[in-house]
A and B are shown apart, each in its own frame.
Chain A
Amino acid sequence: QSALTQPASVSGSPGQSITISCTGTSADVGGYNYVSWYQHHPGKPPQLVIYDVRKRPSGVSSRFSGSRSGNTASLTVSRLQAEDEADYYCSSYTGTHKLVFGGGTKLTVL
């Protein structure tokens, strides 16, 4: 199973919005409603910010939103804050209880 494709890096200024893409195939991103996004600060465990394509766990800021079009899922972070600077990973269920992650995207808040 190949990793999902994410841009290596994105950046934005405080207050702006950014979008991170996650491209897979019809066997993963496009085939199941089980795409998740994780925020990962170095030295800490990852934190779930979006699951089931667009659902937000309790306690996660409404500035985080998810969507999907075909085989590409997207994470949008609105009203950027300095604390949003982190690595972001998408993941997708691929059937028979298997999972695949994206390569990760480094978000820099300028």
Chain B
Amino acid sequence: QVQLVQSGAEVKKTGASVTVSCMTSGYTFTTYGVTWVRQAPGQGLEWMGMISATNGYTSYALKYQDRVTLTTDTSTSTAYMQLRSLTSADTAVYYCARDYYGSGSFRIDSWGQGTLVTVSS
């Protein structure tokens, strides 16, 4: 079955960077993309960006485009999200999810378990 397993919780200092990994299995990694979404405490879901595992194309939300980098390692079917210059406002649960865009369809159909990133001074 399709699985996305994320790395464990992180505690970071203000100004630091964090990298969250998302190891996938159960499907052909390069046929899909990976979307990253976060949820701050008491807030809703927020789209951060997506990366095509087919060709490495990336698209970022304007809010994050200067601070986030999405990458993939097709040899291990793993996606990575790096967020830099952390502030307390970046304290959130970060999700990776499998996305499919093509043939007149778009969907995000499988999600990782989420990774809590806590930023403190």
Which size class do A's interface residues fall under?
Answer: 20 to 34
Instruction: Give complex CA distance A94, B107 in Å.
Output: 13
- Give chain B residues whose Cβ lies under 8 Å from the Cβ of A45: 95, 97, 111-114
B27 CB within 8 Å of chain A: no
Do A102 and B114 touch (CB < 8 A)?
Answer: no
Interface SS, A side: strand
B82 CB within 8 Å of chain A: no
Tell me the total A-B contact number using a CB cutoff of 8 A. 69
Of the stretches A12-20, A46-54, A66-74, the one at the interface is: A46-54
B16 CB within 8 Å of chain A: no
Do B61 and A46 touch (CB < 8 A)?
Answer: no
- Most A C-beta atoms less than 10 A away, residue of B47, B52, B57, B114: B47
- B binding-site residues for A, Cβ under 8 Å: 35, 37, 44-47, 50, 52, 57, 59, 61-62, 95, 97, 101, 104-109, 111-114
